[in-house]
């Protein structure tokens, strides 16, 4: 079994979901008392969040690059960045290490393509919804059109992530607002919706809507298990 390197803490709420998913995936594949071989570096998210909103992405890249070098030194065979937004600096992080990076957008887009989805809605932080590092990668690499909510809806999605979900707060009113936004994207032609922030699945699950949802954290973890168990 290969050792998974995971950069977490962004936020730790979703990193806990990753840890569970990786271990459950290995146990499901191998049975018995098997669990994932994993090297985790968990950052202080307050520092990352401050730099994100200040637009100092170079500083975030340096923090994550150092973290990536640490998990490589700890024996990791490949690397996950356990957050969608910080894939903005994935190229810099990948260059900092000699082990491969499993990109969350690639794993998600491959699943969409396999399922025949050609137009998809995207929820995430304002950075993920508005900038090209994520949705552009999906469109250019996989030919999938990406729709995002309108500006007011993007603000609402972003605020819930940072002021509720990253703090472990799950509120019914926020869930209903997210479901309204998901339905709006569906009405605009989205065949499915990407939960493009690793915390969103804490709030919205498939049981809440008939619109197909793609949980990026779960998909990322499932693909990581495959990588870890490849012969």
Is residue 156 within a helix (H) or strand (E), and if so which, with residue range?
helix 151-163
Query: Distance between CA 45 and CA 171 in Å, rounded?
Result: 22
Q: Across the beta sheet with 78-81, what order do the strands follow?
A: 38-42, 4-8, 78-81
Closest CA to 10 of 90, 107, 112: 90
b/e burial code for range 17-55 (CB count within 10 A of at least 16 → b)? bbbebbbebbeeeeeeeeebebbbbbbebeebbebbeee
CA distance 33 to 69: 30
Omega within 30 of 0 (cis) for the link into 11: yes
Say which DSSP state 101 is in: B
Tokens read off for 191: 């065949």
Closest C-alpha among 142, 140, 84 to residue 117: 142
Structure tokens at 69: 């070098």
Residues involved in catalysis: 83, 197
């Amino acid at each position: 079994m290969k050792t998974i390197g995971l950069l977490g803490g962004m936020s730790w709420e979703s990193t806990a979901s990753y840890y569970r998913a990786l271990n459950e995936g290995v146990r499901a594949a191998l049975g018995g008392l098997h669990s994932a071989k994993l090297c985790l570096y968990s950052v202080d998210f307050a520092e990352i969040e401050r730099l994100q909103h200040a637009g100092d992405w170079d500083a975030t890249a340096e923090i994550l690059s150092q973290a990536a070098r640490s998990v490589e030194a700890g024996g990791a065979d490949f690397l996950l960045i356990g957050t969608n937004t910080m894939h903005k600096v994935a190229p810099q992080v990948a260059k900092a290490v000699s082990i491969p990076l499993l990109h969350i957008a690639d794993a998600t887009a491959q699943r969409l393509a396999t399922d025949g989805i050609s137009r998809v809605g995207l929820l995430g932080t304002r950075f993920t919804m508005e900038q090209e590092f994520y949705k552009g990668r999906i469109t250019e690499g996989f030919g999938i059109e990406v729709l995002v909510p309108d500006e007011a809806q993007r603000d609402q999605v972003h605020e819930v992530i940072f002021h509720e979900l990253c703090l472990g707060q799950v509120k019914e009113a926020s869930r209903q607002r997210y479901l309204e936004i998901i339905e709006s994207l569906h009405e605009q032609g989205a065949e499915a919706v990407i939960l493009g922030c690793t915390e969103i699945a804490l709030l919205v699950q498939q049981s809440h809507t008939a619109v197909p949802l793609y949980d990026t954290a779960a998909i990322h973890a499932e693909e990581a298990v495959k990588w870890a168990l490849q012969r």
